[in-house]
Amino acid sequence: MQGPAFVKIDGVSLVYQMAKEETLAVQDLSLDIEEGEFVAVVGPSGCGKSTLMKLVTGLLDTTAGMITIGGRPVQGPVQGVGMAFQNSTLLPWRSTLENVMLPLEIVEPHKRRLRREKKAYIDRAMALLETVGLSEFADKFPWQLSGGMQQRANLCRAIIHEPRLLMLDEPFGALDAFTREELWGVMQALWMKKRFTAILITHDLREAVYLADKVFVMSKRPGKVILSRHVDIPRPRTLDTTFEPHFGAIVHELRDHIHDVRSS
């Protein structure tokens, strides 16, 4: 028998208050995510995908409903969540290795252990950089890396402190198509090795189907989940997988739902 969901969003609504106007961003939003599951959230522009990310991490308070992570209600910024965004946000004055290790200086219990266990932490960071093919660039600065390399380093920084939850907000959206597809494989390899719970916000339906165990489709504003689609494609997936008929069928099914939502 399956236990309670690791991330549970139960009947959540959010009203943005701007001056004298109110905007209902999401309404009666509900979804469950199991621990170790990789899910993607897709939908039309303005449907509340990024709002969902801010709600789960506690950066926004719900107007109604409840969110729990690991059984605990979210009542403010959630500590220790890994986050990666469209832009790499690497600090320009720090090397690749120093950027990757940044969360260890901030997040407990690593913060208090870092000084006395520094070699072990450096080894951990270097092993991650090796996994994504960046070990030879550990001493380089962000401006010496390509956009794809910067995003690889960004992903390493997001999971160096071994978060139970990783939030990914369009992490590959600013990259060219070839680099983006290459990083799908990098992201999949990191997840298969670490098995953290991941929530990916994306506009790219192929990306969602390649990476996710389950894809949630949201309605137009006010956003709520209108479809939960299990991705029954074995891992590891490759770029060849994206040309298989079943992969294409799932992508088209998701696209049809989003088209219907936008037209309604």
Output the 3-class SS for the chain: CCCCCCEEEEEEEEEEEECCEEEEEEEEEEEEECCCCEEEEECCCCCCHHHHHHHHCCCCCCCEEEEEECCEECCCCCCCCEEECCCCCCCCCCCHHHHHCHHHHCCCCHHHHCCCCHHHHHHHHHHHHHHCCCHHHCCCCHHHCCHHHHHHHHHHHHHCCCCCEEEEECCCCCCCHHHHHHHHHHHHHHHHHHCCEEEEECCCHHHHHHHCCEEEEECCCCECEEEEEECCCCCCCCHHHHHCHHHHHHHHHHHHHHHHHHHC
Give the residue from 155, 135, 143, 147 showing the smallest Cα distance to 93.
143
Reported pTM:
0.92
pLDDT at res. 1: 44
pLDDT at res. 28: 94
Residue 211 pLDDT > 90, yes or no? Answer: yes
What CATH homologous superfamily does 37-61+72-81+164-264 map to? Answer: P-loop containing nucleotide triphosphate hydrolases (3.40.50.300)
Domain boundaries, the chain: 37-61+72-81+164-264, 90-162
pLDDT tens per residue, range 145-182: 999 999 999 999 999 998 999 999 998 888 889 999 99
pLDDT at res. 3: 62
Place of tokens 């070699």: 119
pLDDT bucket at 47, cuts 50 / 70 / 90 = confident
